[in-house]
Structure 1
């Protein structure tokens, strides 16, 4: 944490805003756990981008696949609602092994890094779409594809909805979800990954 002072300050401020009544010692413990997860997330990104499917499959179990099948039976695309958690990369790889889909992302400013993250994320998925390509997302949903989409962004008052989050009265989320649902008519399915300390990864 000593090398990430700016990030530590941001995380500490966010914890204070969300849990103002929590004892400071407990918030600091959460802060430490968060940065332990940051370290784990770096290793998991390597696993997600470079491990073969058979090796990854030894470490997880997926529940809720019946919801995807129901959407397919109804000839619907799927808007898979994700979040920008540290489990994102491995979670997307796990999901793609069972249901290859399309990821929505922000292209990296560094072309080499952009190539690498795109290559890694397509190990078990179909393709990637720029987050600005709303028409491409709608087209894919109408064609019955699965779109992984994380709406937890603040794009300013014109493009965001501000709603309560923990003790924060006005936290932002993008309005893009509404546009995709209205135009693409997909099934909406939330997706997250949970780490089970004594067992496999649950997704």
Structure 2
């Protein structure tokens, strides 16, 4: 199969066997082991480990506490600490199950989903237009992309490479488990636009702070946030429709709960700032409903507008 030069190359490189990668190979072996551990045991272990992880992960938890204080000022400190613990538990539950797509069968993976709103995806697909799946950074975000690809939709997405070459290879190989194409964010939007015009659909996570350059400062949970206005631009260039979605880990189910919402109507409009704000409002509504599943450890408010120069994170 032809390899798109802009896409992440998932072919195996013999350099991945170098001794410097052996600790990562050990980590992948543990992922394989946990993939075969019964779900209820994994989830119970995550609940046991979460309080210790909160105590040890001081810097990430400091970021998370800042985010929670910004987004949920009405909650008491005790309530935010309880939310942080629940968030860490969800993160560990997802991490311990992260090897399932690679080391277990397709049937095993797909049996772990409970999906609502798939009819909205079918309606969007029937329109003949490409679909942009609008998805915030939830702990189980990779599993959301895998589910969509497993339904036979031609998918593409963007990601940041991580410094660990072996883990980068593993995670992107897994992201292509059911097909689809993964692009490094540094490749820009050109390959995404090309794919959308060729009948692909785009799995898009737009909520990170990528700096003030090229961003608009629009509200998110009442605080001005640097937000890339790429979504309305992509829609105008490709005639794509936007289907919001969210994935949460349900420890009662022992699997993933995915909700798809109806495609956005009258989007984009005439004003790019209004369209970008509408995107943030949709993400805000999703996060407010599933606050324990959001990646609060990312610096969403790192960039500040000129009239609000105060530091957000220590």
TM-score clears 0.5 = yes
C-alpha separation in 2, matches of 1:71 and 1:20: 37
Which consecutive segments of 4 or more residues in structure 1 shift more than 6 A?
none
In the alignment, what sits opposite 2:117? Answer: 64
In the alignment, what sits opposite 2:237? Answer: 183
1:87 to 2:126 alignment: no
In the alignment, what sits opposite 2:99? Answer: 46
Do 2:138 and 2:247's aligned partners in 1 also have CA atoms closer than 8 Å? Answer: no
C-alpha separation in 2, matches of 1:104 and 1:194: 21
Do 2:94 and 2:249's aligned partners in 1 also have CA atoms closer than 8 Å? Answer: no
Equivalences, count: 202
Change (3 A) 1:64 1:121: same
Change (3 A) 1:22 1:59: same
1:194 to 2:248 alignment: yes
1:147 to 2:202 alignment: yes
Deviations 1:140-186 (A, max 9, x none): 111121110100121222322222222x4202322221221121111
Do 2:90 and 2:249's aligned partners in 1 also have CA atoms closer than 8 Å? Answer: no
Do 1:44 and 1:89's aligned partners in 2 also have CA atoms closer than 8 Å? Answer: no
Q: CA RMSD in A?
A: 1.9
C-alpha separation in 2, matches of 1:156 and 1:195: 30
C-alpha separation in 1, matches of 2:79 and 2:101: 32
Give the SS at the match of 1:120.
helix
Deviations 1:58-82 (A, max 9, x none): 2213232233333332221111111
In the alignment, what sits opposite 2:170? Answer: 116
C-alpha separation in 1, matches of 2:184 and 2:69: 33
Does 139-148 or 128-137 show the bigger shift? 128-137
Do 1:49 and 1:121's aligned partners in 2 also have CA atoms closer than 8 Å? Answer: no
1:102 to 2:156 alignment: yes
Change (3 A) 1:48 1:84: farther
Q: Kindly name which structure, 1 or 2, has the bigger radius of gyration based on alpha carbons.
A: 2
Segments of 5+ residues of structure 1 without an aligned counterpart are none
In the alignment, what sits opposite 1:133? Answer: 188
In the alignment, what sits opposite 2:56? Answer: 3
Deviation, 1:11, is: 0.8
Deviation, 1:33, is: 0.9
Give the SS at the match of 1:193.
strand
C-alpha separation in 2, matches of 1:74 and 1:121: 27
Deviation, 1:30, is: 0.7
In the alignment, what sits opposite 2:227? Answer: 173
Deviations 1:108-140 (A, max 9, x none): 233222211111111113111222331110111
Segments of 5+ residues of structure 2 without an aligned counterpart are 1-53, 259-314
1:36 to 2:56 alignment: no
C-alpha separation in 2, matches of 1:49 and 1:176: 32
1:74 to 2:135 alignment: no
Do 2:70 and 2:223's aligned partners in 1 also have CA atoms closer than 8 Å? Answer: no
